[in-house]
Amino acid sequence: MTDSLPKRSDLGVRMISAAVMLGAAGLAFWQGGLVLDLFIGAIGLVALVEFAMLTARLPLSGPGRFAALLAGAVYVGYATLVLILLPALYVAVLVGAVVATDTGAYFTGRNVGGPKIAPAISPSKTWSGLCGGMIAAALWMVLAIGTLRYGSQGMEMKPDYAAAFLSRGTAIAALVGAGLAVAAQAGDFLESWIKRRAGAKDSSRLIPGHGGVLDRVDGLLPVAVIAGLALAWPW
């Protein structure tokens, strides 16, 4: 995500852009199937192009730039593939965790403040914001997983609320949510570091008032990578 707060004069543009983005994403999820897969694929492709544009501006030698581009292609490509292969409901849960992280970090950071995590990379990120993001993501995962577990009892005469929301699985869901929040913030820092090195404020100007697509999905990429690795692991 971009580091600076929106200027008052940009607020209207940002709100319109946000509404368009939410509408497009909502329509893709509502359609599901091939439409959602194409939407995710398009987002991933644009993010990769923006990453390549940033890479071209990095102070690297030819081999170093090629290695950076290859690493970015694997990173963005794998995350995109995971999101395409996952059921839409799982994708929504992951997206919700990232949104909860950003929201919790934003409001906690603004109201509590405190020491910065890495001011040279991302001046607006604080330790209090990270904690707020972890708590928000943990609560989201508890609510999401608990709701799914409760819904799976729908065929029973008396669904067990306590079993769905107050069990060992609840604690695991909270820990997973907190961990994903750390990953999302790490993805944010990674892109901020690359942009600093490239001398760029945003990954592009594709989205008025919001920068580029990569700026919007920088936290989702590592979360998707972790989800893919976790699901592929032979537990």
| Per-residue pLDDT tens digits for 70-79 | 999 999 999 9
Task: Please give the residue that has the higher pLDDT: either 5 or 141.
Answer: 141
pLDDT for the residue 132: 95
Distance of CA 74 to the CA centre of its chain: 17
| String of DSSP letters for the chain | --SSPPPGGGHHHHHHHHHHHHHHHHHHHHH-HHHHHHHHHHHHHHHHHHHHHHHHTSS--HHHHHHHHHHHHHHHHHHHHHHHHS-HHHHHHHHHHHHHHHHHHHHHHHHH---BS-TTT-TT-BHHHHHHHHHHHHHHHHHHHHHHHHHTTTTSSS--HHHHHSSHHHHHHHHHHHHHHHHHHHHHHHHHHHHHHHT-SSS-SSBTTTB-HHHHHTTHHHHHHHHHHHHHS--
pLDDT of residue 46: 95
Give yes or no for residue 6 having a pLDDT over 60: no
Q: What are the pLDDT digits (tens) for 190-227?
A: 999 999 999 998 898 888 878 899 999 999 999 999 99
Q: What is the mean pLDDT of the chain?
A: 87
pLDDT digits (tens, 9 = 90+) for 17-40: 888 888 999 999 999 899 999 999
Name which residue leads in pLDDT, 154 or 228: 228
Sign of CA dihedral 130, 185, 136, 134: negative
Higher pLDDT, 109 or 158: 109
Rg (CA), the chain: 19
Q: Are 228 and 79 in contact (CB under 8 A)?
A: yes
User: What's the rounded Cα separation, in Å, for the pair 67 and 176?
Assistant: 31
- pTM to 2 decimal places: 0.86
Predicted pLDDT at 4: 46
Name the amino acid, one letter, at 169. Answer: G
What pLDDT score does 53 carry? 93
